Amino acid sequence: MIRKHVTEQTAIFFSVTKWVVLSSFVGVMIGGIVTLFLKVLQLAESGRSLLPFEYYYLLPFALLLTVWAVRTFAPSAEGHGTEKVIEAVHKREGKIDISVIPVKLFATVMTIFAGGSVGKEGPGAQIGAGAASWLSDLLKFSKEDRKKLVICGISAGFASVFGTPIAGAIFGVEVLIIGVILYDMLLPSFIAGFAAFTTAQFLGIEYTYFDIRFYQSVSLDLPLILQVVAAGLFFGFISDLVVTLVGNTHRYIKKIPLHPYIVAFGGGVVLVVLTLIFGERYLGLGLETIKDTLSPDPYSCEDLPWYAFLLKTLFTSLTLGVGGSGGIITPIFYIGATSGHLFGQLAGGEHIALFAALGFISVVAGSTNTPIAATIMAVELFGLEIAHYAALSAVISFLTTGHRSVFASQILAMKKSEILEVKVGEVIENADVDLEDEKIGRIKDIKERLKRKREKLKERRARSVTLKREDK
């Protein structure tokens, strides 16, 4: 008995030591690569001022160049990054072509420089996962170890882009399978996330945090709790809108019978026209607008239209649909924060910054099916006082969104309602959702009863009318 116990503890010790070393090295490596990506992106954005014309006039040419680069050198770099990594983990044992790293970096910088409405977390995750996959092949790791290192790459990329090491680690182990947390990956993901975050900070990356407790009272009270419940439902519908519009736009554009280069250039022209009509607010990362919605100054968003989240969804759907390269979570932050700002105004205007913060994380929770990572991100970005409200809003949004996601390769391992019949174990885009046969039978019975009751009421009314006529 003692011998077995010692053997078990020794094996665990060596396994923990192995993953502490490996994930630390991977985290530092990815932190350095992502720092390079973020620095280049900063230089590109600051370089817009050198142009003799408005930067967004380059969108048609930038999207055309992006599509050419991806199709020519790394077709797997297409799209918004994280989706391709999830697909690689589930379908190719984490195998990612090393060419993805330079191509994704170049394509994303080009897209964002010209004003494409995309984010930087998807490329960060894909670049990190690509580096982890390359290291695994270099060191002849097994397929299982390669998958683990690639998951570490997702966590490290997310953590180093947003400055949220804990949320980044949880995101990496929560985003792959809906309803399942990969506990065997917790330690490597945490270490990789912390190592990447620390490395990026050491190399000069500065992160923005919004501790709203200094100007927003978020004490527990029943009316506010009820408003947060309503907000969670609202953000769930917004998440559903985002998933539906992004997915349908991509499918419709794919059906256009034109060469992808023509589609990319034409999409860029459409985005330029929309910008001339609605303004530059919906281009690029949109970080300034996000900051404004979370500001204590009530006049910071005075000119923000109520439909801002709809326009950002449209700009993002078009950019990604025609071949732009970049992430989708940063635009979702924008959509969530602006829709939360709208909800805060409709709810009386007392907690606008709070609802903007809740929208920021709840729409991510719903559209990516990661409520735990979103709740932890709320704590890391906005402070501990928001935790209880963030958890409530994020989970309600996650459930309300239904069985759909912006990441079509996520595997569905749960159903979000006991009334529904859902095919689990499949990728979420193949989820066949319907009412359970037993529930359908009950609903039919209820309908039949209601029908019979209506008929009886009609008969009684008819008799009553007849009797009244006879009395007269």
Residues of the chain with pLDDT under 50: 214, 437, 440
316 inside domain: yes
At 214 the pLDDT is 45
DSSP string for residues in 232-292: HHHHHHHHHHHHHHHHHHHHHHHTSSS-HHHHHHHHHHHHHHHHHHH-GGGSS--HHHHHH
Same domain, 150 and 289: no
At 95 the pLDDT is 85
197 inside domain: yes
At 193 the pLDDT is 92
Distance from C-alpha of 73 to C-alpha of 65, rounded to nearest angstrom: 12
Same domain, 188 and 220: no
406 inside domain: no
Closest among 142, 145, 153 to 101, alpha carbons compared: 153
Same domain, 175 and 219: no
User: How many separate helices (H) and strands (E) can be counted in the chain?
Assistant: 17, 4
At 445 the pLDDT is 61
Partners of 177 in the beta sheet?
Answer: 411
Q: Which two tokens stand for residue 107?
A: 């394509």
Domain count, the chain: 3
Domain limits at 248?
215-401
Same domain, 273 and 380: yes
**CATH, residue 113:** 1.10.3080.10
Same domain, 171 and 305: no
At 39 the pLDDT is 92
Same domain, 171 and 260: no
pTM of the complete model: 0.88
DSSP string for residues in 39-61: HHHHHHHHGGGGSSS-GGGGHHH
Domain boundary among 173, 202, 231: 202
Closest among 89, 170, 161 to 119, alpha carbons compared: 161
